[in-house]
Amino acid sequence: MAGAPQEAAPHHDTVKRLDIQQSLNVLEELILESPRVPFSGRTLVDEDQLLEQLDRIRLNLPTVFQEAIQIVQQHDRIISQANQYAQEMMEAAEQEAARRVDDLGIVQQAENQARQVKQQLEQDCEALRSQTRTEIEQWQNAAEQYWEETRRSTEDECLALRQDADAYAADVLQSLEHKLSDMMRIVRNGRSSLPPGVGTVDTTARAQETTNAKSQGTALPTQADGSRTGRSRRNLPPS
């Protein structure tokens, strides 16, 4: 029963590693499959999906680091148990040697061999512990470097997209400005080609004249084309 949790731990570590690897694969697919902005060499990445994958990686990294620390601590416990076991074995060997052998040379030889075994075991355990810590530090540095490069790349792409959008908006506004300028020039040319006084009818005087004409039952004066008109700002005399 006590060995069951120890067997589940490697599976849990594998799941965490697979989850991080899956997030990195999804992040890579997201960048590769995102649409490209024409004529710019840029890629339009979905910001929400990108941040979601980065958050998943960020959330899983501390757990993996903690599990790595636990592995180192477990190695330390194993080393401690091995040292204790070696110590017990040496003590047992010394007791057995003292009980069976009176020859001082044989006892000294056994002690020397025991010390050599212990020293070799300590060296092997220290080398294993140092190698494990070095691998963990290298993996952590690689993960941090990848995260920083991804963040910088994302910021550069967002800045480039923003600059492209600003440039496009400036081009559109400039085109509209030119078109409006052309239209205003056409309007000014059209107005300048009209006879003097056309288009400057006093609407207030015309409304008053229309009211008076209706009250008196008379018709408004007509222009040459037969349309009714009122007084203009040229103060024409009433007909």
Q: pLDDT tens-digit profile of 87-138?
A: 888 888 888 777 776 666 776 787 888 999 999 999 999 998 899 989 998 9
Nearest to 23 by CA among 3, 53, 62: 53
Q: pLDDT tens-digit profile of 165-224?
A: 999 999 999 999 999 999 999 998 888 888 876 655 455 556 566 666 656 655 444 444
Q: What share of the chain is helix, strand, coil (3-state, %, to 5)?
A: 80, 5, 20
User: So where are the chain's domains?
Assistant: 8-168
On whether the CB atoms of residues 132 and 72 are closer than 8 A, the answer is yes
Neighbours of 23 (CB within 10 A): 19
How far apart CA 47 and CA 157 sit, in angstroms, is: 11
Using CA of residue 163, residue 165, residue 168, residue 169, what is the dihedral sign? negative
pTM check: above 0.75: no
How far apart CA 30 and CA 56 sit, in angstroms, is: 14
What are 198's two structure tokens? 């056309």
Which residue bears the tokens 């990445």? 45
